[in-house]
Structure 1
Amino acid sequence: MKKLAISFAVGAASLLSVGTAVMVPTTAQAQPAVIVQTPPPPPRSEHVPPPRRGYVWAPGHYEWHRGRHVWVAGNWVRARPGYAYRAPEWRERDGRWEYNRGRWDRDHDGVPNRYDRRPDNPNRS
């Protein structure tokens, strides 16, 4: 009987630990694509403050919130050595507008590394 109770306790603990590991969200999860029919308004004019050491300026842009375009003001983002910052952008594709979030690109080719067949290629300019 004691062996059965110990086996049951070990099994329950292992199930709980597996369930917890699977359900914990991570911050690196991919964001869903935003595709809308309405083009964004023209970008607003904004004052860019003087450069800050160790930071990159992320320009203001429109994001899609609750069925409409909402302006997000520019801000400073901590620089990542070896990476180039790509600002968020809207692109028209087949009559629809697709939003691409701001991202960091390691090999400076403009292609996110997850889509790049040869990421971090040192021979690219």
Structure 2
Amino acid sequence: MKTLSKLGMVAAIAGSLFLSSCATDSYVVERPAEPVYVRPVSPYANAYWVPGEWVYRGNRYVYRNGYYVRPRANRVYVQGNWYRGPRGYSWRKGHWR
């Protein structure tokens, strides 16, 4: 009987921890897995491949495939990346610098 009451206490503690982690003001964003994507053949000479990026839509991150662009004169493309913040991971969008 004592083991049953200990088991019940452990279950109650675990349940309360689970429910407290599901509160709406407390969430953690997990870093999604990188999808496998084959880069298509360049459509023209000197085309620059902008790698795919993550976009936050509808309470989750979705992957947007990369694409080719004409390179910008005297500018460099800085690729997007994941960074870890207090609420989990966030995506920094790539940009031309």
Normalised TM-score (structure 2): 0.59
1:94 Cα deviation from its structure 2 partner: 3.3
* Equivalent AA in structure 1 for residue 37 of structure 2: E
In structure 1, the partner of 2:56 is: 64
**SS of the counterpart of 1:71?**
strand
Change (3 A) 1:67 1:42: same
CA distance in 2, matches of 1:98, 1:69: 9
In structure 2, the partner of 1:102 is: 94
What aligned pairs does 1:1-125 form with structure 2 within 5 A after superposition? 37-51=28-42, 52-105=44-97
> Which consecutive unaligned segments of at least 5 residues does structure 1 have?
1-35, 106-125
**SS of the counterpart of 2:39?**
coil
* Equivalent AA in structure 1 for residue 39 of structure 2: V
**SS of the counterpart of 1:62?**
strand
CA RMSD of aligned residues (A): 2.1
Count of paired positions: 70
* Equivalent AA in structure 1 for residue 30 of structure 2: P
1:95 Cα deviation from its structure 2 partner: 4.6
Change (3 A) 1:75 1:55: same
Normalised TM-score (structure 1): 0.47
- Structure 1 stretches (4+) deviating beyond 6 angstroms? none
Task: Give aligned-pair identity as a percent.
Answer: 21
Which of 1 and 2 has higher RCO (CA within 8 Å, sep 6+)? 2
